[in-house]
Amino acid sequence: MMTSTTTLAIGTGAGSLALTAVSALLMGVLGTYTLVHHRQVFAWTRRIRRKDEENTDFDKPAEWLGDLYKAQCRLAQKPCADDDFGDVRQTGNMIKGIVGHVEALRPELAAVVERVGAYVATALPESGPAVKVTVLHHRAQLVMAMRQEAARNELVHAILAAEKRIKAERYG
pLDDT digits (tens, 9 = 90+) for 48-82: 888 777 777 888 899 999 999 999 999 988 888 98
Residue 163's SS3 state is helix
Alpha-carbon span 149 to 77, nearest angstrom = 6
Alpha-carbon span 51 to 100, nearest angstrom = 21
Q: Is the pLDDT of residue 4 over 80?
A: no
In this prediction, residue 127 carries a pLDDT of 73
In this prediction, residue 158 carries a pLDDT of 96
- Residue 159: CB atoms within 10 A of its CB come to 22
In this prediction, residue 34 carries a pLDDT of 92
Q: Is residue 113 a contact partner of residue 92, using CB atoms and an 8 Å limit?
A: yes
Closest CA to 166 of 88, 89, 91, 56: 56
Instruction: Tell me the per-residue pLDDT of 85-116, one tens digit each, with 9 for 90 and over.
Output: 999 999 999 999 999 888 889 999 999 999 99
Residue 102's SS3 state is coil
In this prediction, residue 101 carries a pLDDT of 86
Question: What does each C-alpha distance from 83 to 20, 53, 54, 124, 162 come to in angstroms?
Answer: 86, 39, 38, 10, 26
Closest CA to 95 of 60, 70, 126: 60
Burial (0-12, 13-18, 19+ Cβ within 10 Å), 32:
exposed
Angle between helices 59-74 and 86-98 (to 10 degrees): 160
In this prediction, residue 10 carries a pLDDT of 52
Rg of the chain's alpha carbons, rounded to an integer? Answer: 35
pTM above 0.95, yes or no: no
Angle at 146 between CA 141 and CA 152, to 5 degrees: 125
In this prediction, residue 11 carries a pLDDT of 54
Q: Is the pLDDT of residue 1 over 60?
A: no
Give the mean pLDDT of 9-35.
83
Tell me the torsion sign for CA atoms 46, 48, 49, 50: positive
Q: Is the pLDDT of residue 9 over 60?
A: no
Closest CA to 122 of 64, 77, 80: 80
Q: Is the pLDDT of residue 144 over 70?
A: yes
